[in-house]
Amino acid sequence: MTTAIPSSLARLPELAYNLWYSWNPSAQALFSRIHPQLWEQLQHNPVRLLQEVTSEALEAFAKDTAFLRQYEQVLQQWDAYREAGTWFGDTYPQHTQQAIAYFCAEFGFHESLPIYSGGLGILAGDHCKSASDLGIPFIGIGLLYKKGYFKQRIDAEGGQQAEYVTYDFTKLPILPVYAPRTKAANEEAEQLTVALQVSDRTVKLKVWAAEVGRIRVYLLDADVEGNSPWDRELTAQLYGGTQDTRIAQEIVLGIGGIKALRALDIPVGAYHINEGHAAFLTFERLREQLDQGLPFHVALELVRASTVFTTHTPVPAGHDAFPMPMYEYYFRGFFPGYEAQRDTFTQLGYDPDKNLFNMTHLALNTSAIRGGVSKLHGQVSRDMFRKFHGNIDANEVPIGHITNGIHLSTWLAPELKELYGRFLPGHWQSQQADPEQWSAIEHLPAEWLWSAHRQLKEKLIRHARENLAEQCRRTGQSAGRIEEAQRSLSPDALTIGFARRFATYKRANLIFSDLSRLDRLVNHPERPIQFLFAGKAHPADHPGQELIREIHRVSQLAPFRGKVVVLENYDTSLARYLVQGVDVWLNNPRRPYEASGTSGQKAAMNGVINFSVLDGWWEEGYDGTNGWSIYANNEADWETQERENKESIYQLLEHEIAPLYYQESPVPTPWVSRMKRSIQTLAPKYNTDRMVMDYTNDTYLPSLRRTEHLSADAFAEATKVADYKRFIQQHWHKVRIIEVNDGTSARQPALPVDRLKDVTATVKFGPVWFKDTAVELLYYEEHPDAWRQVIVTMEPARQLDDSSVIYHAMIPAHLKHGPHFSVRVLPISENFARRFELPLVTTF
């Protein structure tokens, strides 16, 4: 801080340097009151506000009774938040001393800390906020990008212009982390640095911290004196540069992050790899275990036990993979002293089919618990990585899912938060994941909800007009065009929002497939519709940029000018206006390429109704009454699906959505009823409190407990499990199914379906103990929606010799071995974290 802070306002910097303000309207209102224009100009950054406001102004506020009262109220809320009991403290008091370390390439907390690009970062930020609210002992690890992502400007032809700003970290809501100890008591503290090998050189990293409520996120900065110019740029830009930059950044994130945790002496019980970018953390953790004298296979068992991996990418091309020579170049400084294990390390991420080092393969091989981010994405991931897990059905692949959510306090409009508070139970925010808390939404008067929504819509339209007018001014357009921009959009028209990353699979231009039909919708004399678009395309994604250009071109055509608009520089601030102010949230990706999608969840909390393809979270959230589904036959070819999607969009807009919106006036009661239904059914499920509790219950605590179990008695259990696995892997080829007898012959007629028969299988195990295996019979049953796998456990009937056992099971008599059913053997152990811990299955 450079501006002197009066003693009566001494805790203002404390509030400014904790991102708690980003989800607390009372704190934001306090800072805004100091200088409203400067607050907006500085992107709601309280640190810069306190640096740039005059001392005289702060002295005046120090004597302002009303301001002091407001200041004290905010401090009371802040102190009460920090001191209150928490869900984790009440539920798991015995586990409060070991942290969960959450690694992610980007964190999107707020526009005042621009180190995010889109959905992954916003999700990570919301995850951290709920971890704070719930009292999870949580630590974030990320990178501090000197230039962030980029600011988007749209030129007169609709071309995206990327502008980069070099940030002064002393003006952001972050603080340097100081070394735990200094050499002498009177020596000035130095910022903590850690060093790591990147290829043949040492790279130093400064450590910074973002305070996020009760938790802390550590951010690594390579712009350190003594590093080479290229190395100093490693943390300059998010998702920028070449593949060389990307692999080096991921080394910094994963290995540097572990080194930072160790330098800070933070006890960590479980590690969460949020997308494959951070998977190199497992290399450093393996090296730590090797340095303690553990054999590699035992070290790997410990690392797997304590690692959780979440994949966010439903297409193979989205998973980072590097040419082997590049991988070997960047890790040549890592392996001296570990030459005997070099190949073993490498095999953890090696993709033999493509001869690449794949970060998702590395994460899968080094984590015991893995998952996608929605129910459908979990299935897509199981299909994608089926081969990786041996000869099993896709549904058995050990990849689960925890559906994403959003941080309600960040994304719910203050106007609605106040309104909900009048009708929901007093503790509704702290118990937001309980559906019962939301049942009273039904009793909220329609005119009240509609009035609040109209206020938010008018606020959005004012902001959109300013955004459009600024585009016109900057591109040198006439005064008339600027005035036209300031009159664009109508608060009375049905308003549809589409805002997300401009990637081709998201099909932002689908609504423009038939411009004459769109013209009839937009300019309907009684039921007009208007569209707002926003989003960035990666600077290297030229097809994505062409989408922006195409939508901009349509927006300039006479029938659509001022009614179809493209807003520039989509960030968290603009996102709040959009998800709180539009009437309908449109989402039409090519299914199943939307892993989850959380923008529609943000909209739903605010009473905005979703209109989406059944993909990602909407596939499980839609119930037929809480929004609209864009239809397509998902089994058809892409061309047919796209044609059906287009027709469904136009049909629903024309015959259902617009008529419902305009059905009654001034309060469209049927529409408001659907708004309520959307809030009531979606708010309790698609929030990050529920999501983080799921992660805690289903991944973090099981990982922590299993690690404690394996670490006991000088790693005796880890050694036992690792040795067992190695033995099984070495001898599994000797396990053979010798014979299956189902009592039928090729000439025998089919038996009735309702009769059962006894089937036997003779299995030769070699040196593998038969009780360390499961012998199962598999067949498929037809159901109305699909053929489903049936697994019947076969029981040992008779032991023939030391290594051969006959098994039997009863199955429907009409099934014949070969065409109808098969038998398999797989290794099992009570110490496995999941059923198919080893990709070893023998079938017959």
| SS3 assignment for 794-829 | CEEEEECCCCEEEEEEEEECCCCECCCEEEEEEECC
Q: Do domains 408-686 and 735-843 have the same CATH topology?
A: no
Residue 182 has pLDDT above 60, yes or no: no
Lowest model confidence (mean pLDDT) among 351-360, 387-396, 705-714: 387-396
pLDDT of 57 > 90? The answer is yes
Instruction: Report pLDDT digits (tens) over 455-489.
Output: 999 999 999 999 999 999 999 999 999 999 999 99
pLDDT at 337: 86
Residues 6+ apart with CB under 8 A from 764: 734, 735, 736, 737, 738, 803, 804
Report, as an integer, the average pLDDT of 154-175: 95
User: Class of 92-308+323-366 per CATH?
Assistant: alpha beta
Scored b (16 or more CB within 10 A) or e, 319-347 reads: bbbbeeebbebbbebbbeebeebeeebbe
Annotation: CATH topology of 408-686: Rossmann fold (3.40.50)
Above 60 in pLDDT, residue 745?
no
Residues 108, 145: Cα–Cα separation, whole Å: 12
pLDDT digits (tens, 9 = 90+) for 785-808: 888 999 999 999 999 988 999 999
Q: Is the pLDDT of residue 388 over 70?
A: yes
In whole angstroms, give the CA distance from residue 35 to residue 509. Answer: 41
CA distances from 441 to 104, 388, 419, 435, 452 (A): 36, 47, 10, 11, 14
Q: What is the mean pLDDT of residues 67-82?
A: 97
CATH no. of 735-843 = 2.60.40
Separation between Cα atoms, residue 775 and residue 796, nearest integer Å: 9
Q: Which pLDDT tens digit goes with each residue over 285-314?
A: 999 999 999 999 999 999 999 999 999 998
Hey, where are the domains in the chain? 7-83, 92-308+323-366, 408-686, 735-843
Q: Is the pLDDT of residue 749 over 80?
A: no
Task: Provide the pLDDT confidence category of residue 750 given band limits of 50, 70 and 90.
Answer: low
Looking at residue 181, what is its pLDDT?
A: 62
* pLDDT at residue 425 in the model: 93
* Strand ordering across the sheet containing 842-843: 787-793, 773-782, 821-827, 842-843
Question: What pTM was estimated for this model as a whole?
Answer: 0.95
The string of pLDDT tens digits covering residues 588-637 is 999 999 999 999 999 999 999 999 999 999 999 999 999 999 999 998 99
Tokens 């109220």 -> residue = 73
CA distances to 386, 511, 645, 738, 786 from 391, in Å: 8, 43, 36, 19, 21
